[in-house]
Structure 1
Amino acid sequence: MSDANGKCIHLNQMLREFWGVSEQNVHEFDWVDTLHPEDRGAVVGVSSALKKRCSFELKARYLDTKGRYRMLDTRAHPRFSASGEFVGMIGANVDVTERDEAERARDLLVDELNHRVKNTLSIVQAIAHQTFRKNADPVEARHAFEGRLIALGQAHDLLTEKNWENASLGQLAEVTLDTKGANADLISITGPSVLLAPKQAVSIAMALHELCTNARKYGALSEDEGRVRLDWSKADDARAPLCIVWRESGGPPVSPPARRGFGSTLLERTLAHDLDGEVSVEFEPEGLLCRIALPLDSSVVGIRS
């Protein structure tokens, strides 16, 4: 409660504890001194309400006795004596700090979700365009499209587990290539623990899926004796500290394809251009050899021993 000039004449126990004011010193307390410097404009609204003798609402940050700025939602109404004389204000302050923080976090999550959904739809659109444009057989195109969507979904699952902060390259390779399932004896993976940024994780998952699909259709995995080895390590080039090597062996003789497929486009455009990486594909007689060099995102922990 305040007097007609806005001076405090009563604070309940919770407010006294909030500001560290004793009951005897309430009349000496000035709440204006506790306002956050950026919220000093609130004083103008209170002064105007006092002059007009009307109700007011405001939200502002106040310094509490623990040295923290807390957001208080204030609603006050004028008080009048029995004779109609204005005698001051009476109101309540509600600490809405956590509520406001939760609302801001929610808004950020919604914005981030919208951004990710748009990105994902763009990826799906690109996959569909490349898949159905270059495949005359609709059945084959449908199977290829489904496989690519599954690879995309698996990468998203791993990222979701880490709140879309990063994804482990080892886990990504294991899930995408099914090295603990059907390909346990066919594909080996080795390398240090590496965390990838979301965009890198999605692109590399799609690339590994394409390499595995091509190996099963035309390369090493198309024959019983064929094998694939995937290794990654830290490169000497500071601009591209992550080096990924896909090596096939034991399959049929390899020769360059007559036309460029989705995999070639993905490797060259997405990994080389969008992720600022370097990609080389060599059609060696003993098997396909693909080298991928990528700079690691500085916002995530790159390589750990």
Structure 2
Amino acid sequence: MDGGFVHALECSLDSALLAILNHSRDCIAVIETDGALSFVNDNGLAGLGTDESVLGEPWHRLWSDESRADALDALSRALDGAHPRFEARCDTGATRLWDVSISPVRDRAGRITHVVSTARPDPDATARLEAAERDVEMQKAVAREAQHRLKNLITVVASIAKLVARRSTSLAEFERSFQRQLLNLDRAQGLLTDGAENSGTLGQVVSVVLEGEGRDPRLTVSPLPTGLIGDRSVQLLALVLGELRTNAIKHGALSVDEGRITLDLRSERDDLHIVWDEDIGRTAPDPGLSGGSGLDLIRRMLSATGAEPEIGWTGRGLRMAFTASRF
């Protein structure tokens, strides 16, 4: 702190005044005519997140870059005899925005010898500023997440197109199968959009995919594990379960009134164990469904993620078991 200035305060005005200034909630600063700081009260230094090392430095540097032009303009006007006021931002202290007013100090001859700056914390404006900054960060995060999901979606759609094309014997067959897969994928994307960021639950996936066109009482689902599953797992399960359901309607247990399906899903650490067990209501020889085109597509989709499904005929229906990552 400028010893001469403080000494003058203590001698000519009284040390009690200095104590009053130091205990003010406002940031009170005395500025030389060249713009250098001569004095800042203790609470002002604390509020700005700085210390006495700023004394002798230009006053306008107390404020953030975006406020310095306003500070310099206000100081110039005060040195011309005006009493300007402006809003200043400081990013180093707990209070971000300040309501600043500055006034000239004259000697007995009327000459301006100093400028006094009084900056009052503006908590409401600070709260609005921080809320706006949080909104900006949220918008950036949403944009990044949307970009990430779009890239994933394009990759998944391209993969589905290749897999469906390999096992389609005609353009019409490709169109029907591809549209069906896109519908299942659309349901998964709707779940990801409406649910928690980057994840959904098994219950949501099962409900959206298997009950999207109405609940079938012939399909029984075991009690589902709690907890979230990742974006990729939501998409994979939506595609696989959707294809299994379609296959069952066309060729399997849901193609006959007496048919039943049991879906068992269990969780073990980071893995999901899924068993799809069909019962057509009677004993019958293997009709060759385990090698059908729909199941071949499922096998290819799972193999692309490193999962190897076990597909077989129990004597009463198709049974498929596979393990997939939760995330």
TM-score where L is the length of structure 1: 0.67
Aligned residue number for residue 261 of structure 1: 296
1:168 aligns with one of 177, 198, 201: 201
Residue type matched to 2:320 in 1?
C
Q: Aligned with 1:194: secondary structure?
A: coil
Q: Aligned with 1:60: secondary structure?
A: coil
User: Which residues of 2 match residues 67-106 of structure 1 at below 5 A?
Assistant: 70-72=95-97, 87=115, 94-95=125-126, 96-106=129-139
Cα distance, 1:185–1:54 mapped onto 2, change above 3 Å: closer
2:173 aligns with one of 140, 152, 166: 140
Whether the aligned pair in 2 keeps the contact of 1:54 and 1:77 (CA below 8 Å) is no
Aligned residue number for residue 185 of structure 1: 217
Cα distance, 1:83–1:120 mapped onto 2, change above 3 Å: farther
- Partners in 2 of 1:143 and 1:118 — Cα distance? 24
- 1:62 equivalent to 2:90? Answer no
- 1:291 equivalent to 2:326? Answer no
Cα deviation for residue 209 of structure 1 reads 0.9
Cα deviation for residue 295 of structure 1 reads 4.5
- 1:28 equivalent to 2:28? Answer no
Whether the aligned pair in 2 keeps the contact of 1:151 and 1:176 (CA below 8 Å) is yes
Which structure has greater helix proportion?
2
Cα distance, 1:213–1:29 mapped onto 2, change above 3 Å: same
Cα distance, 1:162–1:131 mapped onto 2, change above 3 Å: same
Whether the aligned pair in 1 keeps the contact of 2:188 and 2:234 (CA below 8 Å) is yes
Summarize deviations over 1:50-75 as a string: whole Å, max 9, x none: 9x993597551422xxxxxx533889
Residue type matched to 1:257 in 2?
G
Cα deviation for residue 160 of structure 1 reads 2.5
- 4+ residue runs over 4 A deviation: 22-27, 43-50, 55-59, 73-86, 88-94
Residue type matched to 1:244 in 2?
I
Cα distance, 1:79–1:246 mapped onto 2, change above 3 Å: farther
Identity of matched residues, %: 21
Cα distance, 1:177–1:35 mapped onto 2, change above 3 Å: same
Cα deviation for residue 108 of structure 1 reads 1.0
Aligned residue number for residue 66 of structure 1: none
Whether the aligned pair in 1 keeps the contact of 2:310 and 2:321 (CA below 8 Å) is yes
- Partners in 1 of 2:60 and 2:211 — Cα distance? 69
Larger Rg: 2
Summarize deviations over 1:234-262 as a string: whole Å, max 9, x none: 45xx563x322101121763434177732
Aligned residue number for residue 220 of structure 1: 253
Whether the aligned pair in 2 keeps the contact of 1:79 and 1:86 (CA below 8 Å) is yes
Instruction: For structure 2, list consecutive stretches of 5 or more residues without a partner in the other structure.
Output: 6-22, 30-39, 64-68, 75-87
Report the more deviating stretch, 279-288 or 88-97.
Answer: 88-97
Cα deviation for residue 296 of structure 1 reads 3.7
- Partners in 1 of 2:280 and 2:44 — Cα distance? 80
Cα distance, 1:22–1:169 mapped onto 2, change above 3 Å: closer
Number of positions where the alignment pairs a residue of Structure 1 with one of Structure 2? 261
Cα deviation for residue 100 of structure 1 reads 1.0
Q: Aligned with 2:162: secondary structure?
A: helix
Aligned residue number for residue 303 of structure 1: none
Q: Aligned with 2:261: secondary structure?
A: strand
1:122 aligns with one of 141, 147, 155: 155
